[in-house]
Structure 1
Amino acid sequence: MPLFPAPPHAEPIARNPVALSRRTVIASAIAGAGAAAGLAAQTGTAQAAAKAASPPGDVVGKITVGYQGWFACSGDGAPINGWWHWSQNWGQSPSPSNTAIVSWPDVRDYTHTYRTAYPALGNGQPAALFSSYDQQTVDTHFSWMQQFGIDTAALQRFNPNGGEGATRDDMAVKVRSSAEKYGRKFYVMYDATAWTNMQPEMKADWLAKMRALTASPAYARQNGKPVVGIWGFGFNEPNKTWSAAVCLDVVNWFKAQGCYVMGGVPTHWRRGIEDSRPGYMAVYEALDMLSPWMVGRIGDIAGADNFYANVNTPDQEYCDAHGIDYQPCVLPGDLQSGHRAHGDFMWRQFYNMCRIGVQGIYISMFDEYNEGNQIAKTAETAAQVPAGSGIRALDEDGTACSADYYLRLTGDGGRMLKGELALTPTRPTPPVTGGG
């Protein structure tokens, strides 16, 4: 998700969140009619207000993955003509001293890769990376989504008016093609980070370019409306300084265009503290779907349970009471920091969100090798990682995991969300296909 090189989503984990009481609703029933003697009132409590109104669609009741699609390589034909997001200096090949990633992809499914300046892998093979600009790469990613039951991809779109714009425009077309080919849904998710003139330029970009994508049968719709995501409103960060009035205007403008608007919002949106600026509640409540960011907030099962009790549960109740669809993040964990616990960390989040009764789940992210939170295929062992690089493989805690493990885990989490798998705190997905 973050706009490289600044990591805008890496705020510290919240400490000691305040426990909030569950919302209760007083229900009254009046029996009889006419005579006063025939009137009797009954009162009681319910645990939550009426559920948000949206029925299952392309995001409600579904698994959505954040899709960066932002990796390019020198010689791949992309207009940006460089090692986009693979290296700090995009004009030079990635190497241990010029890198922007903390996880190494398993590239065996790609027909074309690009050799880097990294040392050879532990198995002696050249250290090569994929380019998102190759249609075969995007096809491969969407074929994985099809294979593992991932419903929808939210294509990240940062400010397209600079030097990256032409490449981002092309990526949108490639994603459309792959989504149609593999029967997946996709939608445009604007990331407003560092977009100074965002208010008029985002509207203009939608009208001139992105709106045309909604003609695709693969473009995600919810409640009969094309979905548009906007990430970044209300964050208490220096590269997100738009006023609440400006943010509200943009949300309402998209709604007036007939769109269903999903918002990626601060973790503590509801209380307007910590990562959320105060005074943005009108913006949050204007959204059709609300998805609080979680990367950097939790890193173990205890943290996930703490957020379940003190953040996610009252969030869900607030959204239910205000007719907002709630789509919290689930993350595999930063592999390089040792958060994953061979899938137990991610499964605990799936379990917690499903027992709350969320309207959907947003996976952060599909291909985020920069922050180590990717579910896409990843090096299994040191044999598939550049020698001496210090990059951890999936077996970093001693448990062997197949490259597709987190895709399989996401597939099972999606089945539990949809009621196809019984609610269970015990991870059903073996780390290695066929057992283990």
Structure 2
Amino acid sequence: MMGSLLYLVGVAFASFGTSTLASAQYEAREVLGIDTSTLNGKLFVGYQAWFRKPFEDNGNSHWTTDTPTPEVGHVGVDMIPNITGYPPECLFDTNFTLPDGEATKFYTNDCEGVVDLHFKMMADAGISGAFIQRFYGYINEANGGWINILNYVKTAAEKYGRGFVIEYDLNGASTTSTNVTETFLADLGSLGSLTSSSAYVHHNGKPVLEIWGFGIVTEVSVDDGIAIVTALKNAGWYVILGVQQAWHAELAADQPGGYGPVYRLADMIQPWTVGAYGFDNYDDFHDGRQAVEDANALRDLGIESSIVVWPGGSSSNANPNEAFDHFPRFNGTFYQKQLDGAVNLKPSFVFGAMFDEVNEGTAVLPVLRNRELPTNQRFLGIDDDMEPDYYLKMAGDAASKLDSAWK
């Protein structure tokens, strides 16, 4: 469903005389909303939305690892968002000291203004929208925090003409402890008001759903995987499977325990390539694995494809055994190579990992530059000569090129 979305921009004026009267005029700004009836020619980003102010009865934080506040020596992120434009009521102080002596502020995701701003960033950059991560371990979160965020997403996506899709992450699921199929079906039944939104993405006439983790989260068995995908397709969903990056090797019928029978049921396959290559060997991965092995396997199965791109990676604060900046960004050239490579292969859509993943250093939202980082804790910044939204613009440019390729 493509159309023009009108939203109002306020311009304040004051007239002076014996009294002062504040008034506002509004102008209509035309924004072209994406066509939510298809995935083709789009670039979506993954949206974790799990960064909440710690320990305020909000389920989880992810800013911090093992302390009540994200403090020096106990922080779960390697990058710090640039908070320009964030609503003040959505921010909180930390004890990380900026070069000017001020306290570093983090945002809390369960504040509607944060989600609204994030979707505005996507719209301004030309990114198609987001796949909203819904983690199996938090489906039954008692205080409803994740449901609140999903509702904020729906409102913001409709407001800015973006699309959104629910993506279930299998982490926390286990065949031995729960009926994963029944849990998914019950949860989707409770989310009907969200998935019926005009901003919810469809493909081939069906609402889109992604299940991430087959072949990665091995606590969910092959038999359970078959049951999950079969039930979802029977319920009318278009099912994307996010799978381990060497997924095609498991298609062989003689591989015991392989997830090949699950993969064959998918409407679309999305190999998870984060960490599978670096700057130096990406070309070999693209020319061999993606352009030949994956493409041939998908063609033989008659399954559509999605390609994952990511700007770099660093997760040393949450995982001290990990090397700092272990997948360098090379001033954006690593990301650009992947974006170009993905567009050239013309998948149904490109998945950008991730919009906000500052835990693992894959975030493309505006973050602090090197010269702006705190002085009392090591963090990873982007290069000083970059604008904070540089990576968003790169993704948006790739979205435009892919859209053109599909026309």
TM-score, L = length of structure 1 = 0.76
Matched, 1:206 2:188: yes
1:154 to partner: Cα distance = 0.5
1:278 to partner: Cα distance = 4.6
Q: 1:374 aligns with which of 363, 385, 398?
A: 363
Kindly provide the CA deviation profile for residues 5-63 of structure 1, in whole angstroms up to 9, marking residues without a partner as x: xxxxxxxxxxxxxxxxxxxxxxxxxxxxxxxxxxxxxxxxxxxxxxxxxx994322210
Aligned equivalent of 1:66: 46
AA at the equivalent of 1:104: I
1:65 to partner: Cα distance = 0.7
Aligned equivalent of 2:74: 98
Counterpart secondary structure, 1:328: strand
Matched, 1:359 2:338: no
d(CA) in 2 for partners of 1:164, 1:329: 32
d(CA) in 2 for partners of 1:108, 1:97: 25
AA at the equivalent of 1:415: S
Aligned equivalent of 2:24: none
Kindly provide the CA deviation profile for residues 369-395 of structure 1, in whole angstroms up to 9, marking residues without a partner as x: 000000011102332x22131112101
AA at the equivalent of 1:389: Q
Change (3 A) 1:162 1:257: closer
RMSD (CA atoms) = 2.3
d(CA) in 1 for partners of 2:210, 2:86: 29
d(CA) in 1 for partners of 2:107, 2:265: 39
Kindly provide the CA deviation profile for residues 247-296 of structure 1, in whole angstroms up to 9, marking residues without a partner as x: 011111111111111111110000029xx985211211211111111112
Residue identity (%): 29
Matched, 1:298 2:280: no
Check the 8 A contact 2:36/2:200 in 1, yes or no. no
d(CA) in 2 for partners of 1:142, 1:161: 23
Aligned equivalent of 1:394: 382
Change (3 A) 1:93 1:294: same
User: Unaligned 5+ residue runs, structure 1?
Assistant: 1-54, 422-436
Check the 8 A contact 1:130/1:137 in 2, yes or no. yes
1:338 to partner: Cα distance = 5.2
AA at the equivalent of 2:83: V
Change (3 A) 1:56 1:155: closer
Aligned equivalent of 2:338: 349
Matched, 1:231 2:212: yes
Higher deviation after alignment, 154-163 or 261-270: 154-163
Counterpart secondary structure, 2:153: helix
Counterpart secondary structure, 2:228: helix
d(CA) in 1 for partners of 2:143, 2:350: 29
Kindly provide the CA deviation profile for residues 165-210 of structure 1, in whole angstroms up to 9, marking residues without a partner as x: 6211211111111111111110110001121222321222112x22
Aligned equivalent of 2:8: none
Counterpart secondary structure, 2:79: coil
Change (3 A) 1:309 1:303: same
Counterpart secondary structure, 1:118: strand
Aligned equivalent of 1:340: 329
Q: How does 1:235-246 map to 2 (within 5 A)?
A: 235=216, 239-246=217-224
Check the 8 A contact 2:41/2:404 in 1, yes or no. no
Q: How does 1:280-291 map to 2 (within 5 A)?
A: 280-291=259-270
Q: 1:88 aligns with which of 41, 65, 89?
A: 65
Change (3 A) 1:354 1:407: same
d(CA) in 1 for partners of 2:363, 2:168: 20
d(CA) in 1 for partners of 2:53, 2:142: 13
Change (3 A) 1:87 1:344: same
Aligned equivalent of 2:154: 176
Counterpart secondary structure, 2:250: coil
Matched, 1:324 2:303: yes
1:110 to partner: Cα distance = 0.2
Change (3 A) 1:101 1:390: same
1:81 to partner: Cα distance = 6.2
Aligned equivalent of 2:86: 110
Q: How does 1:178-197 map to 2 (within 5 A)?
A: 178-196=156-174, 197=178
1:163 to partner: Cα distance = 4.2
Change (3 A) 1:287 1:149: same
Counterpart secondary structure, 1:286: coil
AA at the equivalent of 2:277: I
Aligned equivalent of 2:400: 415
TM-score, L = length of structure 2 = 0.81
AA at the equivalent of 2:242: G
Check the 8 A contact 1:234/1:277 in 2, yes or no. no
Counterpart secondary structure, 1:347: helix
Q: 2:109 aligns with which of 120, 128, 132?
A: 132
User: Unaligned 5+ residue runs, structure 2?
Assistant: 1-34, 315-324
d(CA) in 1 for partners of 2:132, 2:123: 16
Kindly provide the CA deviation profile for residues 219-272 of structure 1, in whole angstroms up to 9, marking residues without a partner as x: 11111111111001122xxx5322212101111111111111111111000002
Change (3 A) 1:253 1:420: closer
